[in-house]
Amino acid sequence: MTIGAAIATVGDIKNDGYESWPGIVSRFQLVLLAGRRSKQLYKGALPRIPADPLKRRNTSIALEELRLGLVPFSAFNPKVSQTADSELPNAELVNERP
Protein backbone atom coordinates (compact mmCIF):
# COMPACT_ATOMS: atom_id res chain seq x y z
CA MET A 1 0.00 0.00 0.00
CA THR A 2 1.42 3.36 -0.98
CA ILE A 3 1.06 6.49 1.12
CA GLY A 4 -1.57 7.78 -1.30
CA ALA A 5 -3.50 4.53 -1.04
CA ALA A 6 -3.25 4.65 2.75
CA ILE A 7 -4.60 8.20 2.79
CA ALA A 8 -7.41 7.17 0.45
CA THR A 9 -8.16 4.23 2.73
CA VAL A 10 -8.24 6.53 5.77
CA GLY A 11 -10.65 8.73 3.81
CA ASP A 12 -12.87 5.67 3.29
CA ILE A 13 -13.31 5.32 7.05
CA LYS A 14 -16.18 7.76 7.15
CA ASN A 15 -17.79 6.05 4.16
CA ASP A 16 -17.32 2.47 5.43
CA GLY A 17 -18.38 3.14 9.02
CA TYR A 18 -15.17 1.60 10.41
CA GLU A 19 -16.17 -1.96 9.49
CA SER A 20 -12.87 -2.57 7.72
CA TRP A 21 -10.83 -1.21 10.66
CA PRO A 22 -11.32 -3.54 13.67
CA GLY A 23 -11.38 -1.70 16.99
CA ILE A 24 -10.85 1.76 15.45
CA VAL A 25 -13.56 4.22 16.46
CA SER A 26 -12.19 7.49 15.03
CA ARG A 27 -9.64 8.91 12.62
CA PHE A 28 -7.75 10.42 15.54
CA GLN A 29 -7.35 7.04 17.22
CA LEU A 30 -6.13 5.59 13.92
CA VAL A 31 -3.52 8.33 13.52
CA LEU A 32 -2.25 7.89 17.09
CA LEU A 33 -2.05 4.10 16.85
CA ALA A 34 -0.44 4.14 13.39
CA GLY A 35 2.14 6.67 14.60
CA ARG A 36 3.03 4.58 17.63
CA ARG A 37 3.23 1.37 15.60
CA SER A 38 5.37 3.16 13.00
CA LYS A 39 7.79 4.20 15.77
CA GLN A 40 7.93 0.61 16.98
CA LEU A 41 8.81 -0.54 13.46
CA TYR A 42 11.44 2.19 13.18
CA LYS A 43 13.02 1.03 16.44
CA GLY A 44 13.29 -2.55 15.18
CA ALA A 45 9.97 -4.29 15.82
CA LEU A 46 9.18 -6.96 13.26
CA PRO A 47 6.30 -6.30 10.84
CA ARG A 48 3.28 -8.57 11.21
CA ILE A 49 2.73 -8.62 7.45
CA PRO A 50 5.14 -9.67 4.71
CA ALA A 51 6.74 -6.38 3.72
CA ASP A 52 9.95 -5.36 2.01
CA PRO A 53 11.34 -2.49 4.12
CA LEU A 54 13.13 -1.13 1.06
CA LYS A 55 9.84 -0.75 -0.83
CA ARG A 56 7.36 0.09 1.95
CA ARG A 57 7.59 2.75 4.59
CA ASN A 58 6.87 2.08 8.25
CA THR A 59 3.75 4.24 8.11
CA SER A 60 2.11 2.23 5.34
CA ILE A 61 3.08 -1.04 7.04
CA ALA A 62 1.55 0.22 10.32
CA LEU A 63 -1.68 1.29 8.61
CA GLU A 64 -2.01 -2.05 6.82
CA GLU A 65 -1.43 -3.95 10.08
CA LEU A 66 -4.13 -1.88 11.81
CA ARG A 67 -6.55 -2.38 8.90
CA LEU A 68 -6.08 -6.15 9.12
CA GLY A 69 -6.46 -6.14 12.92
CA LEU A 70 -2.96 -7.49 13.52
CA VAL A 71 -1.92 -4.86 16.08
CA PRO A 72 -3.40 -5.43 19.54
CA PHE A 73 -4.19 -2.29 21.51
CA SER A 74 -6.13 -1.45 24.64
CA ALA A 75 -8.73 1.22 25.29
CA PHE A 76 -7.70 4.75 26.21
CA ASN A 77 -7.07 5.32 29.92
CA PRO A 78 -7.32 9.03 30.88
CA LYS A 79 -5.35 8.52 34.10
CA VAL A 80 -2.39 7.17 32.13
CA SER A 81 -2.41 10.11 29.70
CA GLN A 82 -1.87 12.59 32.54
CA THR A 83 1.38 10.98 33.69
CA ALA A 84 4.80 11.96 32.39
CA ASP A 85 5.95 10.24 29.19
CA SER A 86 8.75 8.47 31.05
CA GLU A 87 6.16 6.84 33.33
CA LEU A 88 4.05 5.37 30.52
CA PRO A 89 4.32 1.58 30.41
CA ASN A 90 4.28 1.03 26.63
CA ALA A 91 1.72 3.49 25.29
CA GLU A 92 -1.53 1.82 24.22
CA LEU A 93 0.01 -0.62 21.76
CA VAL A 94 0.88 -4.02 23.04
CA ASN A 95 4.33 -4.96 21.81
CA GLU A 96 4.81 -8.73 21.80
CA ARG A 97 8.55 -8.52 21.22
CA PRO A 98 10.69 -8.33 24.42
Q: Give residue-wise pLDDT tens across range 30-47.
A: 999 999 999 999 999 999
Structural domain range at position 44:
3-71
How far is it, in rounded angstroms, from Cα 38 to Cα 95?
12
Residue, of 77 and 66, whose pLDDT is higher? 66
Residue 65 inside a domain? The answer is yes
CA distances to 10, 15, 41, 61, 75 from 24, in Å: 11, 14, 20, 17, 10
Domain count, the chain: 1
How far is it, in rounded angstroms, from Cα 59 to Cα 33?
10
CA distances to 3, 20, 59, 61 from 55, in Å: 12, 24, 12, 10
Whether the predicted model's global pTM rises above the 0.85 cut? no
Residue 19 inside a domain? The answer is yes
* Contact in structure between 3 and 62 (CB atoms under 8 Å): no
Residue, of 14 and 19, whose pLDDT is higher? 19
